[in-house]
């Protein structure tokens, strides 16, 4: 217990994720600067967020598969009003929904790019941000070439 005697305003701290037991492997992988997604061992469907049963085949067997930390922007928005005071210095910033390469998963996070450069379909890669000794976050940034992903996810 560290009794904080400093007068630093607590409100300046940004909220951190609190990993559930089910999602712990995802967060542990981020700490190792890897992107791992829960994948059904029966039908190979990727789940994110992770589930206790596969929504496609109802299987209960899962692996934590390391996937390529790249993708393309499915959609994005620009945040102008900070959701909590801790983000006041950051606005305006971009948040993107990204199709992760070679999977059926879309992830949501910050897109670190000049706001004038944003476009649907832009290729991005994940950057890992070690915000505390226990928590690493993932964010997206543009990457030069769309890496070879001839088979872009079999989305219906
Ligand atoms: Zn399945």
**pLDDT by residue (tens digit) across 35-78?**
999 999 999 999 999 999 999 999 999 999 999 999 999 999 99
Q: How far is the CA of 121 from the centre of ligand 1 (A)?
A: 28
Q: How far is the CA of 12 from the centre of ligand 1 (A)?
A: 42
- On whether residue 150 sits in a domain, the answer given is no
* CA pseudo-torsion sign 96, 101, 107, 109: negative
Q: How far is the CA of 63 from the centre of ligand 1 (A)?
A: 11
Does residue 81 have a pLDDT over 60? yes
Averaged pLDDT, 99-124: 97
Provide the pLDDT for residue 13. Answer: 84
Going along the chain, which residue ranges are E strands? 35-40, 46-47, 62-67, 70-79, 93-100, 106-111, 123-130, 136-142
Provide the pLDDT for residue 144. Answer: 82
Cis peptide before 14 (omega within 30 of 0): no
- On whether residue 72 sits in a domain, the answer given is yes
- On whether residue 3 sits in a domain, the answer given is no
Q: How far is the CA of 15 from the centre of ligand 1 (A)?
A: 33
Provide the pLDDT for residue 54. Answer: 97
- On whether residue 9 sits in a domain, the answer given is no
In this structure, the answer to whether residues 59 and 73 fall within a common structural domain is no
Does residue 154 have a pLDDT over 50? no
Provide the pLDDT for residue 44. Answer: 98
Q: Which helix H or strand E contains 29, and what residues bound it?
A: helix 24-31
Q: How many domains does the chain have?
A: 2
Q: How far is the CA of 41 from the centre of ligand 1 (A)?
A: 7
Does residue 33 have a pLDDT over 90? yes
In this structure, the answer to whether residues 113 and 61 fall within a common structural domain is no
Question: Locate tokens 């649907």: which residue?
Answer: 120
Provide the pLDDT for residue 148. Answer: 53
- On whether residue 105 sits in a domain, the answer given is yes
In this structure, the answer to whether residues 86 and 110 fall within a common structural domain is yes
In this structure, the answer to whether residues 119 and 78 fall within a common structural domain is yes
Cβ burial of 65 (10 Å; 0-12, 13-18, 19+) is middle
Does residue 32 have a pLDDT over 60? yes
For residue 72, give the nearest of 102, 47, 98, 37 by alpha carbon.
98
Structural domain that includes position 108: 68-143
In this structure, the answer to whether residues 73 and 49 fall within a common structural domain is no
Provide the pLDDT for residue 12. Answer: 63
Alpha carbons 142 and 72: distance in angstroms, whole number: 9
In this structure, the answer to whether residues 102 and 79 fall within a common structural domain is yes
Predicted TM-score (pTM) of the model is 0.83
In this structure, the answer to whether residues 91 and 117 fall within a common structural domain is yes
Q: How far is the CA of 55 from the centre of ligand 1 (A)?
A: 7
Neighbours of ion ligand 1 (CB under 5 A): 40, 42-43, 45, 54, 56-57, 59
In this structure, the answer to whether residues 61 and 107 fall within a common structural domain is no
Mean per-residue pLDDT of the chain: 89
Does residue 107 have a pLDDT over 80? yes
Q: How far is the CA of 20 from the centre of ligand 1 (A)?
A: 21
CB-based contact 120:73 (threshold 8 Å): yes
Beta-ladder partners of 139: 127
In this structure, the answer to whether residues 54 and 112 fall within a common structural domain is no
Let me know the angle formed at the C-alpha of 105 by 53 and 60, rounded to the nearest 5 degrees.
15
- On whether residue 28 sits in a domain, the answer given is yes
In this structure, the answer to whether residues 44 and 92 fall within a common structural domain is no
Q: How far is the CA of 61 from the centre of ligand 1 (A)?
A: 8
């Amino acid at each position: 217990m560290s009794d904080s005697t400093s007068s630093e305003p607590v409100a300046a701290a940004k909220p951190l994720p609190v990993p559930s037991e089910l999602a712990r492997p995802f967060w542990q992988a981020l700490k190792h600067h890897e992107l791992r997604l829960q994948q059904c061992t029966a039908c190979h469907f990727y789940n994110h967020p992770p589930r206790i049963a596969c929504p496609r085949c109802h299987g209960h067997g899962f692996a934590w598969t390391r996937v390529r930390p790249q993708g393309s922007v499915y959609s994005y928005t620009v945040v102008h009003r900070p959701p909590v005071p801790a983000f006041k210095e950051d606005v305006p910033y971009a948040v993107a929904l990204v199709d992760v390469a070679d999977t059926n998963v879309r992830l949501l996070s910050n897109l670190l790019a000049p706001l004038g450069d944003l476009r649907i379909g832009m290729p991005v890669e994940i950057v890992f941000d070690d915000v505390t000794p226990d928590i690493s976050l993932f964010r997206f940034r543009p990457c030069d070439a769309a890496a070879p992903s001839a088979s872009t996810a079999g989305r219906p």
